Chain A
Amino acid sequence: MKVRLSDDALAIACGADAIARALTAGGAEVERVSSWGMHWLEPLAEIDGVGYGPLAVPDVAKLLAGELDDKCIGVIGSHPFLARQTRLTFARAGKTRSLSLEDYTATAGWEGLSLARAMSPLEVVEIVAGSGLRGRGGAGFPAGIKWRTVLEAPGDQKYIVCNADEGDSGTFADRMAMEGDPFQLLEGMAIAGHAAGASKGYVYVRSEYPHAIAKLEQAVRLCRDILAPFSVEVRAGAGSYVCGEETALLNSLEGKRGEVRAKPPLPAHAGLFGKPTIINNVLTLAAVPWILRHGADAYRDFGMGRSRGTMPIQLAGNIRHGGLFETSFGVTLGDLVNEIGGGTETGRPVRAVQVGGPLGAYFPPALFDTPFDYEAFAAAGGLIGHGGVVVFDDTVDLAEQARFALEFCAIESCGKCTPCRIGSVRGRETMEKIIAGEQTEANLELIEDLCETMTFGSLCAMGGFTPYPVLSAIRHFPEDFRRAKAHNTPNLEAPDDVPAR
């Protein structure tokens, strides 16, 4: 009997390796594949297309005997969570062995690269521009414009850099794309290399993703000849959140402190080692092979307004059906949380949803009709960022979440600009006074003022966007900031933090 089981880090963290050993011991042939992205069902086994999960080791004997009906979810491919999705970037998720060149080639792998190499660089750039693809890292900058700038920049040495420093809590799509379909990302980078005239690419992966690093390194070795003359080097980060900011990342790649650079010059003009550089997020580059294969219009047909194509949304936190949900832009936040996500896992009412990582706003259910779209989220006082959606139930204390946002900024600030370096520390201290009930109104006013300075005075999104979670929490959940004595949420103190007070 052949059993398919994911070897993605999340499946492993949920015990997939132990399941695989038990299956092998029970006489089954185990095939490790990528993850379908239905995380509440992991470890999820697949036998002849039918899924069983979440598995525990004692389930294995019943599974092999064909008696595990209570954990059978039916045919995986037609599960409602998957049937509602539009999977372009994650088309292979759950279906292929991530390091199998055979599986990749059999599922139209490398076709985008072949098509691109038969075209002029400018033609490739025009297709990417025409598709409406925007940077999936968070900023949403049109990829085509970035690529054209690098193509037109003078210089014989240019670089492609893939930003795989996916530090936002609540996001894992980059990790899944790298672990599950590494060749697709490398193909996207090689296409970018052809379009910009760059022969060398780097993938900068955060060190918290050792499985992704290992998979990518193996993938690079396996497809070296196919990528040639383009070559790719995988580099690991070193635990700094701010290195997800593109200029800090470039400094880190150069072996320096991960401090943000002032712009201009743009990386497209003077990026890695001062050379013209395309720096894009994993999901941006991984979307490119599909676009080349199907054409700009096919991609553009998905989405709404100026947000074209699909977005791999990540449902996380206290949610019943958490996982990867790739869909056209335009789905509402409420549908994502309640209909698709099934509400909270604890069964309590949803009170707040943070969208876009630690620098994203907290949304109350009253704003659940906001469509998932760059502009609509900006209009609602938030951002979609990298597409992470973190759900909280009614036990959340938003004053403590606001304090955490400022503390996180203090821990992770690169220290280069004052509003971020000092503002975050003063902000955290002030928020602690508010939580203690000390001159609440005056201190809230001070926070608003400080946030304005951080928004307009910071060099990058670290200090510039920290006000999003802070101010949205104050705006939408004012009662949490005015009940000093009632605060009983345990504090999160970082042990190596500067001893304040």
Chain B
Amino acid sequence: MQDQDNVTRILDAFRSTDAPLLPVLQAVQAEFGFVSEAAMREIANALNLSRAEVYGVVSFYHDFRMEPPAQPVVKLCHGEACQARGLRQLLTQMTRIEQEQLEPVYCLGLCAVGPAAMSPNGGVHARLDAGSLRQLLEDPR
């Protein structure tokens, strides 16, 4: 299976890293968009961990997904600073479908120029209004 080979290759790259579980999971997710059950099994075997331990870590952290995302998801900051700068009003202007493409994130460190968002490739955007957020959803740069 190609999937498995790729996971093995990622595991090899972290051979000399102490406590490599998180970096391995991050690399797997970066490559495949999610961490599959097969990948978790593979990682558990290679790192001499139980599958429960790996599952426990994957399920603990907000960043990891166990299924591929339906569509590119833009992270919209829900932190208090963005709330103070009109986040709630901005959300009410988005349609239900648009809201489903938005994932809450708690602070991007852009707190004096919110509302702020981050695209799947790490692009950051500030001073968002309904128009610019909609544009970002259509073309998540």
Residue numbers of A with Cβ under 8 A of B are 9-10, 12-14, 39-40, 42, 166-172, 174-175, 207-211, 235-241, 252-259, 273, 314-319, 322-323, 345, 354, 358, 388, 390-393, 396, 401, 404, 408, 411-412, 414, 489-490, 492, 494-495
**B116 to A492, Cβ gap below 8 A?**
no
**A412 to B126, Cβ gap below 8 A?**
no
**A240 to B109, Cβ gap below 8 A?**
no
Write the chain B residue with the least CB distance to A40: B112
**A166 to B109, Cβ gap below 8 A?**
yes
Residue among B92, B113, B127 with max Cβ neighbours from chain A (10 Å): B113
Complex CA distance for A318 and B114, rounded to whole angstroms: 9
**B57 to A256, Cβ gap below 8 A?**
yes
Q: Of B112, B122, B127, which one neighbours A323 at CB under 8 angstroms? A: B112
| Interchain residue pairs with CB less than 8 A apart (29) | A10-B112, A13-B108, A13-B116, A14-B126, A40-B112, A169-B77, A169-B81, A170-B79, A170-B107, A175-B109, A237-B63, A238-B63, A239-B62, A239-B105, A240-B62, A253-B19, A256-B57, A317-B80, A318-B84, A358-B79, A358-B80, A388-B81, A412-B106, A489-B88, A490-B89, A492-B87, A492-B88, A492-B91, A495-B103
Whether, in the assembled complex, B56 has its beta carbon less than 8 Å from a beta carbon of chain A, the answer is yes
Whether, in the assembled complex, B23 has its beta carbon less than 8 Å from a beta carbon of chain A, the answer is yes
Q: Which residues of A contact B127 (CB under 8 A)?
A: 14
Whether, in the assembled complex, B51 has its beta carbon less than 8 Å from a beta carbon of chain A, the answer is no
Q: Of B56, B60, B82, B113, which one neighbours A169 at CB under 8 angstroms? A: B82
Q: A172-B110, A236-B22 are in contact. List 10 more A-B contacts (CB 8 A).
A: A10-B126, A14-B127, A172-B111, A208-B109, A238-B25, A317-B80, A317-B81, A492-B88, A494-B104, A495-B99
Q: Write the nearest CB–CB distance from B44 to chain A, whole angstroms.
A: 12
**B122 to A316, Cβ gap below 8 A?**
no
**B83 to A167, Cβ gap below 8 A?**
no
Cβ contacts B1-38/A at 8 Å (1 or 0 each): 00000000000000000111111011000000000000
Q: Write the nearest CB–CB distance from B105 to chain A, whole angstroms.
A: 6
**B110 to A210, Cβ gap below 8 A?**
no
**B126 to A13, Cβ gap below 8 A?**
yes
Q: Which residues of A contact B75 (CB under 8 A)?
A: 208
Write the chain B residue with the least CB distance to A166: B109
**B125 to A208, Cβ gap below 8 A?**
no
**A401 to B80, Cβ gap below 8 A?**
yes
Whether, in the assembled complex, B85 has its beta carbon less than 8 Å from a beta carbon of chain A, the answer is yes
Complex CA distance for A39 and B112, rounded to whole angstroms: 6
Q: Which residues of A contact B108 (CB under 8 A)?
A: 9, 13, 208
Complex CA distance for A197 and B123, rounded to whole angstroms: 39
Q: Which residues of B contact A10 (CB under 8 A)?
A: 109-110, 112-113, 124, 126
Complex CA distance for A391 and B82, rounded to whole angstroms: 10
Complex CA distance for A388 and B107, rounded to whole angstroms: 12
Residue numbers of B with Cβ under 8 A of A are 18-23, 25-26, 53, 56-57, 60-64, 75, 77-85, 87-89, 91-92, 99-100, 103-114, 116, 118, 122, 124-127
**A258 to B61, Cβ gap below 8 A?**
yes
Contact status of A240 and B113, CB under 8 A, knowing A235-B23, A255-B20, A494-B104:
no
Q: Write the nearest CB–CB distance from B43 to chain A, whole angstroms.
A: 10
The number of inter-chain residue pairs (CB within 8 angstroms) is 168
Contact status of A13 and B110, CB under 8 A, knowing A239-B63, A318-B84:
yes
Complex CA distance for A314 and B62, rounded to whole angstroms: 26
Q: Of B18, B88, B106, which one neighbours A408 at CB under 8 angstroms? A: B106
* Majority secondary structure, B binding face: mixed
Write the chain A residue with the least CB distance to B21: A255
Contact status of A318 and B85, CB under 8 A, knowing A10-B126, A169-B80, A169-B107:
yes
Complex CA distance for A441 and B111, rounded to whole angstroms: 35
Q: Which residues of A contact B21 (CB under 8 A)?
A: 255-256
Q: Which residues of B contact A211 (CB under 8 A)?
A: 122, 124
**A238 to B111, Cβ gap below 8 A?**
no
Write the chain B residue with the least CB distance to A323: B112
Residue among A169, A209, A319, A412 with max Cβ neighbours from chain B (10 Å): A169
**B22 to A169, Cβ gap below 8 A?**
no
Q: Which residues of B contact A354 (CB under 8 A)?
A: 80
Q: Write the nearest CB–CB distance from B39 to chain A, whole angstroms.
A: 15
Q: Which residues of A contact B80 (CB under 8 A)?
A: 169-170, 317, 354, 358, 390, 401, 404
**A255 to B57, Cβ gap below 8 A?**
yes
Residue among B57, B64, B84, B114 with max Cβ neighbours from chain A (10 Å): B84
Complex CA distance for A13 and B56, rounded to whole angstroms: 34
Q: Which residues of A contact B114 (CB under 8 A)?
A: 317
Complex CA distance for A77 and B132, rounded to whole angstroms: 33
**A322 to B57, Cβ gap below 8 A?**
no
Residue among B56, B77, B126 with max Cβ neighbours from chain A (10 Å): B126
Complex CA distance for A390 and B81, rounded to whole angstroms: 6
Write the chain B residue with the least CB distance to A322: B112
Complex CA distance for A490 and B23, rounded to whole angstroms: 38
Q: Which residues of A contact B62 (CB under 8 A)?
A: 238-240
Complex CA distance for A13 and B25, rounded to whole angstroms: 28
Q: Which residues of A contact B125 (CB under 8 A)?
A: 13
Q: Write the nearest CB–CB distance from A6 to chain B, whole angstroms.
A: 13
Residue among B60, B88, B104 with max Cβ neighbours from chain A (10 Å): B60
Write the chain B residue with the least CB distance to A179: B109
**B60 to A257, Cβ gap below 8 A?**
yes
Complex CA distance for A358 and B78, rounded to whole angstroms: 11
Contact status of A490 and B84, CB under 8 A, knowing A238-B22, A241-B106, A258-B60:
no
Complex CA distance for A237 and B81, rounded to whole angstroms: 22
